[in-house]
Every structure is written in C-alpha cells, then in structure tokens.
Structure 1
Amino acid sequence: MKILIRMDDIAPGMDMGKFRRFKRLLDEYNIRPLIGVVPDNRDPKLMVEADEPESKQKKGTDEEADSEENPYFWRMVRDLQSEGWIIAMHGLHHVYTTKKGGMLPLNKQSEFAGIPYEKQLEMVTEGKKILESHGIATDFFMAPSHSYDRNTITALVEKGFRRVTDGFGRDAYRRFDMTFYPISYRKDSALTDDHEGYTTFVVHTNTLTNEDFNYYSKVFETGKVVSWNEWLMTDPVEAGEFQGIKEYLLARIKYILVHKRW
C-alpha cells in the first residue's frame, strides 16, 4: 500500500517553525502533500504564533500587501500550490457548532454536520469565495474533525467541489457525485500492508513533537510515501453497496477505542 500525506489546520498564526521543519522533511524525499487551508480561521487553538514580522509581510509589492490580510501566509499557500502541493478547503471558520459526528463519526463535534442545507451552502460559498479572493482555486474539501453529512456533500457539489479527503478503504471511490480519498484506519497496519492501493496519513503540524518528526522521517525512509499527483491520476472505483454502513461502523469503533468509552 502506498501512503499519502494530508496536513490539516493550515491557517495564519499556525506554528510556522514546525510547518517549515515538516516541509523540509517532505522536500528531502520529494513528497508533495495535500494541505487543508482554513479560509477564515476563528479557532483560537490554531493560532499559536503571532503574525509574521512586518518586514516579511512586505516582501511583495505594496499593492499586494495592501490587497489582503496576512499577505505572507496567502503568498506562501499560492507558492506551495505552484510547487505541486494540493490545496483543500478546510471548512470555513474551523469552529465547532454542533455535537454531530456526521457520516464518519470519528469525533462528536462538527462545523457542518447537523446544520440545515441552506446554511451549509452559504458556508461553502463563503469559504470558496475567500480562497478565490486570495488566488486559490480548488475542488477539494476537508471537513474539520472529519465530520460532514449529506447536506454538506450536496452543498459541495452545488458549488463545484468534486473531491473529499476522507473515508476508509484502499482506493479512491465515487459516491454521491463525489470522489472520496480515504484516510488510514491504523498507521502501523498501513505501513505493513502489501496490498495494492493508497491511504492517507493525517498530520497536524501544530502539535508535532520531536518524537513525531523522528517517526515520519522513518516512514519516509520506507519509500512507501508518494505525492498526491500519483493518486489523482488513478481512476476511482464505484463505492460498494454497504460503503456508508461500513465506514460509519468503523468510525464508531475507532472513536470508542480512542476515547475508551465502552
């Protein structure tokens, strides 16, 4: 099994030191990940650093600096996209407003699941508009806490999104007019799985420790980690009849195991 890297919680104020350190590791092995960019972050937990120094923000033209908030951050995202990194819209504000797990209940909190369709459509529309205002176009969606429902999918399709980074399995699969790119159920199992297929390791750089960096260095040394453009060039399969039921049950089991609520 081949492995892809997905980096969550990319937003102004994130821990840029850890982000740059992980990027150097990725660059060393020529790996291009998928990153989830929050269009308008309002989650204080993601704001772990002060804004970039004014001297860095003014590296572009004065017109660039005046045209957008956090210009250094957004210029960095555009540069990463031009390098071949894949950008996903990571929710809207990254603020949890319901206690719903949605279709993939790995958590009991959501920015989207449980909210009426019309409101979700407004949220998706706003997020897409914000990214486009910064010169970033994408048809990839990444739900905060992996929590989304059918209304989310319908709203995404309505606004031109065609791909979601979530689900379980060894292949990208088609469901509800959307292509899903699965995440790993257990990282250790994925590393020893010799079957053909792909899976995604979810990385939150804000919370990485030295031990985590050493772990990923060893993972990259295996040669099993590839760039996203390889997976995106493969044809997705049609989801099986029981795909939704299987994913829901697997997610519930993982939630129970992680939180030890028997």
Structure 2
Amino acid sequence: MYLIRLDDASEYMDIAKWDKIESLLNQYNIKPIVGIIPNNQDKELVSKYKKDLGFWNKVKEWQSKEWTIALHGFTHVYSSNSGGINPVNLRSEFAGIPLEEQKIKISNGIKIFKEHGLNAKIFFAPSHTFDMNTLEALRTESDIRIISDTIASDIYKMGEFYFIPQQSGHVQSLPFRITTFCYHPNNMSENDFKILENFIKQKRDKFGSFKDLSLKKREISVYDKGLKKLYFSIRAIRNKLRGK
C-alpha cells in the first residue's frame, strides 16, 4: 500500500501550493497524513510566507474529510546536531534534547491542537530526527502511540509505539508492503506535481489511507534491520561525495 504524507503545514506556508496538492488529492480521493507545526518559529518559513489567518479552520476541514492529523514537532526550530534513532539528518528539534524539555514541547503542541479542536493520531519530527526521550515524552504527555518514520518494509511495533515506515521523498515503485511518500508542498515544483499525478493515475488502486492500515504487533524483522543499514550506508556515501 502507498501512503502520502505532507510535511510543514502551518500558519506560514505556501497557500497556493497547498491548495494545489489538496485539489489533486481530492480529485483522486486520496487522504494523506498531514503534519501540522503547532507553533511555527522556523525563520525560513515565518519570514518567507504571510501568516494565514484562516489556517486552523482549514486544518479542521482537513480533519473533517478524514485527512489524518499529525503533530509535526512544536516550533520546527532545530536545537541540536543529533540524528537520534533515525539519523536521516544531523539536526533536530528533539533528538539530544533533555526529556523534560521534550515533554514541554509535546504537551504545549497537544494543548494548541486541542484549542483548535484537533485530534492528533500520529507524530513525526522535523527532519525525521527523534530519540527515545521523544517517545517517552509522547507516552506521558499525549495519547499518540504511532510514529510516521524510520526505514522498514512494513509497520512494526517497538514498546508501546507503532512505526509506519517512511521510505521516499517522491513517488516510485518500491517492493514493500507499506510505502510512505513524504512531500513538502511548500517546496514542490510544477514538475513535482505532474510526476505525482501521473504516478497516481497509474497506481491509484495501490494508494490507501491511515484508516486502511492494520496495526499489527509485528517486531522489526532481520530484513528490515538490513534494509535500514543499507539505506543509511548509501546515504552516508552520498553525503561524503557531496562533501557533507
């Protein structure tokens, strides 16, 4: 099954592009997981986009048509150079941050959501980076027990948390039971939209939504561990070649 995940929805975003991705997904009746930044203080976003005064009403509309609302960090401001337990990037709002600080972030994020009538079922961190303290903060400060992230071929459970794997930043055919394509509408080009729509036209029957998932108590497999190791090895080589 293919899932669509949309990152970086907030009061400061490219409204035209978000309207476009919403129209496209509506056309094909695809219900994504959408990550909401509760208290966006990311200067790159705040300085670039005009504040959308109707944002929270828009999110309530998304929720009413069964888009799955996710807590996407708190401020979207990086506080460390840690990659945590999913080191896709070496920067984080959460990984490497003391537990009590993470608890405050999660608690305040959930509070803002509740003020706007939103029910977050999933969490994913900015830049995909979080650590075990993040899970503990979620456990104590929220009802969220599902993470959209990490590399695997299928949903698995670790402790109290289910992990929906997120393997690609664009549509492509991958041989996994569950594949999540992560898009940042703010940064999408016209060509990105065209490629996405063409892929959906060809593979529409393979797309599902959060409500279609079966949260099985499956432990991460040896295959998944090997897949994760391969992914990060390839990523390290690419970063080295790019001089990062």
Q: TM-score, normalised by structure 1?
A: 0.84
The one-letter code matched in structure 2 to 1:84 is: E
Corresponding position of 2:9? 10
Over aligned residues, Cα RMSD in angstroms?
2.2
Q: Is the 8 A contact 2:146 2:164 kept in 1?
A: yes
Structure 1: which amino acid aligns with 2:8? D
1:108, 1:123 → 2: CA distance? 20
Give the residue type in structure 2 aligned to 1:180.
Answer: F
> Hey, what does 2:114 align to over in structure 1?
132
Give 1:115-130 correspondences, 5 Å limit: 115-130=97-112
Aligned to 1:112: 94
Give the 3-state SS of the residue equivalent to 2:173 in structure 1.
helix
1:100 alignment partner in structure 2: 82
Residue 167 of structure 2 corresponds to residue 174 of structure 1: no
Aligned match for 1:217, one of 165, 173, 197: 197
Q: AA paired with 1:121?
A: K
1:84 and 1:251 mapped to 2: Cα distance?
Answer: 33
Q: Which residue in 1 is equivalent to 2:125?
A: 143
**Is this contact kept in 2: 1:153–1:176, CA < 8 A?**
no
Query: Which structure ranks higher in relative contact order (CA pairs < 8 Å, sequence separation ≥ 6)?
Result: 1
| Structure 2 residue aligned with 1:64 | none
| Cα distance change, pair 236–86 in 1 and its aligned pair in 2 (3 A) | farther
> How far apart are the structure 1 equivalents of 2:236 and 2:210?
27
Task: Provide the identity percentage.
Answer: 33
Q: Which moved more, 1:121-130 or 1:107-116?
A: 121-130
The structure number with the bigger radius of gyration is: 1
Whether the 8 Å CA contact 2:89–2:128 is kept in 1: the answer is yes
Relative distance call for 1:245 and 1:96 in structure 2 (3 A) is farther
Q: CA deviation at 1:248?
A: 5.8
User: Structure 2 regions of 5+ residues with no counterpart?
Assistant: none
Q: Distance in 2 between matches of 1:248 and 1:154?
A: 25
Give the whole-Å Cα distance in 2 for the aligned partners of 1:113 and 1:144: 10
Cα distance in 2 for partners of 1:35, 1:135 equals 16
Q: Is the 8 A contact 1:168 1:185 kept in 2?
A: no
Aligned residue pairs, count: 239
Counterpart residue type for residue 45 of structure 1: E
Equivalent residue letter for 1:199: T
Residue of structure 2 in register with 1:254 after alignment: 235
Unaligned ranges ≥5, structure 1:
53-69
